[in-house]
Structure 1
Amino acid sequence: MKKVFFLLAVAIFTAMSFAQEREKTLKQYGYWDNWFLQLQMGGQYTFSECQTYSSFSGKLSPTAALNVGKFFSPEIGSRFQIGGWTSKNNIVGALYNVTYINANLDVLFNMSNIFRSYRENRGFNLVGILGVGFVHTFKNQNVFVSTQFEPQQHTLKSSNSGSIRLGLQADIRLSDAWSFNIEANGNLLRDDFNGQEKWKTYNDATLNFLAGFTYRFKNRGFVLIDPADPILIQSLNERNNELRGEIQILNNQNKELREQLEGYKVRYENKQITETEKNTFVDNESALKDTVLISVIVFRTGKSTIETDQEFNLYTVAQYMMKYREKQVTIASYTDVKASTADINLQVSKKRAAAVIKVLSEKYNIPANRFIIINFSGNKQSVPINNIWNKISVYTFK
């Protein structure tokens, strides 16, 4: 029996390790997140000495349990249980009750999330249970058994023993906080659990059938996010810093050019400008008009949500467009060519461009007619040396 429990545990942990290889990762949670409370009631059948003397229904007895637990991930959790009531047993044809209390520490394996992708609002979850416990039985009154000769008196002692548990629980979601559960678990006990010890090579055991409700405290559930690539983030941040520096240089150049142009304009109106200076004025005005500014917004794989660390880039874009109101912005959205099909990549590109336009229009009041949109379906890459770097939208201002 112990070998069976061991093999089952190894199989569950192996399956769990394969399930951890997901493309996304979990948002970090605190100690007080994902706690739950369970209240269960049901029936119990005890396997012990002389069980063949009575029917299955004749040995059924009530049992109850109160559980407090926590899920550490979508796959793994644990619970502490206090339970007990009575256990019906048989001695030479006479039924008697054993009153007991048990304390169990169970490891919970959400099989639905181990073998399938995680979904918080899944209506049904199958949970495996593997645990150990401690059982105390209270001293029983003397049991009198009638035989063909004369009544015999049997004294049944109290006992303390450890236990091993294996079970399954079906969890049916009712709401974000509540669910209904049905559970079956088997418990392997010492031979003297029922006050009798006749065959030391065998053990007593109980089979419990329980039903009850689970309440999950806030914060409940898990959120999956795209994993952060430190090297990619560092590279993009360095590129962003370079672009910011270039923007600052261009802004300074534009400022100098405008100051020069204002000076030329005053002198030109006062007829104090030479023919050579007049040509310089025209050249500088043309140079200022053709100034090009490039900025980049980075997105996560398959996403069009603008992350907080990209808002500064949008702010810079908005400031530039509000200062130079005659300029237009060309938005070229790219995707990782290996991320998905061309059709899906095209839709992602359109959503990325729309997300940027939404922020610039609603937050900074940039008119929609100042945007020129180009969407690529993944067949064109902005950065040919690394596909992952192409999860971007490039904004060119003219």
Structure 2
Amino acid sequence: MNLKSSLLVLVGLVGLSANAQTQHTSTDAPAHKVAFTHKPGTNYFVSLAGGAAAMFTRQNAPVPYKDRLSFAAALSLGKWHTPYYANRLKLVGGETYTFHTSPGNYRNDNYYVGGHYDFMFDVVNYFSSYREDRLFHLIPYVGLGYEYKFHNSVKGMPNVHALTGNAGIQLAFHVAKRVDIFLEGEATYNNLALRSNYPADQLYNSRRLTALAGLTFHVGRQGFTPVEPLDQNYIDGLQGQISKLRAENAELAKRPESCPDLELAQPAAPAADRFVADKSILFEQGKAVVSKDQLITVFDASEFAKNDGEIVVTGYVAKNESRFKGLAEKRARAVAQLLTDKYGVSSDKITVEWKEAGEAPYSAAELGWNRVVVIRSK
């Protein structure tokens, strides 16, 4: 390995060491104990719901429930920031009945529209390990918003602009890849009037309970990827390789760049002797794509192969990657394709092989090193 190649390998290893701190892996730990990647534009949802609402307390209380029920509808747009925390903007509307019972009996029918910003917490995902296809979710929430009450049937009643506070709970059932069915109960206080209000001694229109049923559609890219720092043995191994290369470069720097007389006197070394050591291309958990910081290793192997050498490309998987079918083969073929398509190595100089998890080249203590393709001279 000449000085230039050694320096390029050193740069590649340093880049891998920096990048390796965010390798992706699966985990069985509760979601609140795991860090997850957060990508813009992912995990959005839209909900449509309809149901019934009723007013409570004061002179509404003596009226039978069936006489208090009115329709309600909601449209929501939200985003899950983690598997257990989300925000949504919920637009609401419907009709409400409020009553005056003494003295005299009469009812005010009015409509309302509004919206509130909710903070949602998935209890099941918080205490359980993350699964994108989990069947049941229990999601309490609280929110703040605005509401406009208008079109009163009782003459003289003002239209009302009010701030609102709300709290509720949602039961969601995952029935398809991008679809949930949910039931939702919500309590709203809407008497923080900004302008006008109903007379307190006549019609009380402040506390409303709403029951909704609807569908949630998950739009765009979905899912979270857990992030787990690499084990210390893997990091120590990288540092060891860097130290070894630094020492080698220090020795090479002391030598003259060329010795014409020596080169004339000695025949060139056989190709096999120039392939000093196995070349290892490392991969992320569950992935078969060669990252940019590993290309220098592929390039180094291609230089050997193009100078009358033959190589064997062997793909491996770690034990915790057994669920990824054919991953070792995909890794080996990805490296072979780079050698031929990008670096111009003839395909007849490459032998492609792959091994199962039980044939990994490194021990369980060095699990990260088993996500690898090894290139050897034939």
What is the correspondence of 1:220-239 to structure 2 with a 5 Å cutoff? 220-224=221-225, 226-227=227-228, 229=230, 236=238, 239=241
Q: Secondary structure at the match of 1:324?
A: coil
Cα offset for 1:395? 2.8
Structure 2 residue runs of 5 or longer lacking an equivalent are: 1-28
Q: Secondary structure at the match of 1:87?
A: strand
Match of residue 312, structure 1, among 296, 304, 307: 296
Change (3 A) 1:94 1:234: farther
Residue identity matched to 2:209: L
How far, CA to CA, are the matches of 1:293 and 1:163 in structure 2?
71
| CA RMSD after TM alignment | 5.0
Cα offset for 1:106? 0.6
Residue identity matched to 2:300: T
Cα offset for 1:288? 5.4
Match of residue 335, structure 2, among 336, 356, 363: 356
Change (3 A) 1:211 1:190: closer
1:293-318 Cα offsets, whole Å, 9 max, x none, are 32221123454443332233223212
Cα offset for 1:321? 0.8
Identity score, percent: 20
Change (3 A) 1:334 1:216: closer
What is the correspondence of 1:249-268 to structure 2 with a 5 Å cutoff? none
TM-score (norm 2): 0.64
Task: Count matched residues.
Answer: 335
Cα offset for 1:61? 0.8
Match of residue 112, structure 2, among 100, 105, 120: 100
Cα offset for 1:141? 5.2
Match for residue 42 of structure 1?
A: 51
On the 8 A contact 2:147/2:190 being kept in 1, the answer is no
1:176-219 Cα offsets, whole Å, 9 max, x none, are 5xx465442221426799946469xx99532223345556554x
1:269-326 Cα offsets, whole Å, 9 max, x none, are xxxxxxxxxxx75xx65x655443322211234544433322332232123212223x
Change (3 A) 1:380 1:289: closer
TM-score (norm 1): 0.62
Match for residue 100 of structure 2?
A: 91
The answer to whether structure 1 residue 20 and structure 2 residue 22 are counterparts is: no
Change (3 A) 1:96 1:222: same
Deviating more after overlay: 78-87 vs 296-305:
296-305
1:225-249 Cα offsets, whole Å, 9 max, x none, are 65465986796488379669979x9
Q: Larger relative CO (CA 8 A, sep 6+): 1 or 2?
A: 2
Match for residue 150 of structure 1?
A: none
Match for residue 29 of structure 1?
A: 39
How far, CA to CA, are the matches of 2:324 and 2:181 in structure 1?
42
1:313-346 Cα offsets, whole Å, 9 max, x none, are 2232123212223x343748474xxx549x7799
Change (3 A) 1:41 1:382: closer
Structure 1 residue runs of 5 or longer lacking an equivalent are: 1-16, 144-154, 265-279
Match for residue 6 of structure 2?
A: none
